[in-house]
Amino acid sequence: MTDFVAARRMMVDGQVRTSDVTDLRLIAAMLDLPRERFVPEGKAGLASVDLDVPVLAAEMGATARRLLTPMVLAKLIQAAEIGDDDHVLDVGCATGYSSAVLARLARSVIALEQDPSLARLASENLRAIGASNATAVTGLLTEGWPVGAPYDAILLDGATEIAPKALLRQLKDGGRLVGVLGRAPLGKAMLYRAVGHDVSGRPVFDAAAPLLPGFSAPPAFVF
């Protein structure tokens, strides 16, 4: 039988701390939260492994969904500099693990998911762990959640090949958006910051992540 507490400790010590993640609140959250709860029952043993854990298979043209590797998720959240009083949007929350981590750091979290079955799971999981400051909602990921805007921070919980313009418009002045730009195996974790009516972005580390639905580049026209 898997000792999940020991597995989480190995995950944090071997994957997160060794990747220059030094935010003690973030480390404490990842040590405490039962990541195994957020993966399919038959895959619980993969919860702490250094891979993007599958949580929804691709069916009828839909994009397969995965949880980000612990290292990539932790470095993205650290780059976003989440404060105690921040209002955060988690885009592509899947089963809710990333939102659960964010809920330990921020004042409030909107967990956005467009797949209804994943949104239900996220809601159930967040309620089960007592994350009363996180709310799961259902809607198109590319559109964000305007009714809850503006946000201090937005986590794009995966990769995009296009500039997430609708999401960037939902940042408040000084707000940050983090996510991975580029299709695996190539990609860069990006940090975007809103200053007045302008937004600037810069790469913060090399990363690969699963492409989120709706965020692929349109096919190029070829003669």
What are 108-164's pLDDT values in tens digits?
Answer: 999 999 999 999 999 999 999 999 999 999 999 999 999 999 999 999 999 999 989
Asked if residue 110 belongs to a domain, the reply is yes
Rounded distance, CA 189 to CA 71, Å? Answer: 12
User: How far is it, in rounded angstroms, from Cα 26 to Cα 38?
Assistant: 18
Please give the tally of structural domains in the chain.
1
Residue 175: domain span:
52-206
Rg (CA), the chain: 16
The pLDDT, as a whole number, for residue 1 is 61
**The pLDDT of residue 61 is above 60:** no
Residue 219 inside a domain? The answer is: no
CATH for 74: 3.40.50.150
For residue 186, being part of any structural domain is answered with yes
Structural domain includes residue 212: no
- pLDDT for the residue numbered 220: 61
Please say if the pLDDT value at position 58 is more than 90: no
Helix (H, G, I), strand (E, B) or coil at 122: helix
* Domain membership flag for residue 64: yes
Query: Is residue 223 domain-resident?
Result: no
DSSP-assigned letter for residue 211: B
Helical H segments across the chain, by residue range: 4-11, 24-32, 70-80, 97-103, 116-128, 165-168
Residue 50's nearest CA partner among 29, 37, 27, 66 is: 66
pLDDT level of residue 2 (50, 70, 90 thresholds): confident
Asked if residue 105 is part of any domain, the answer here is yes
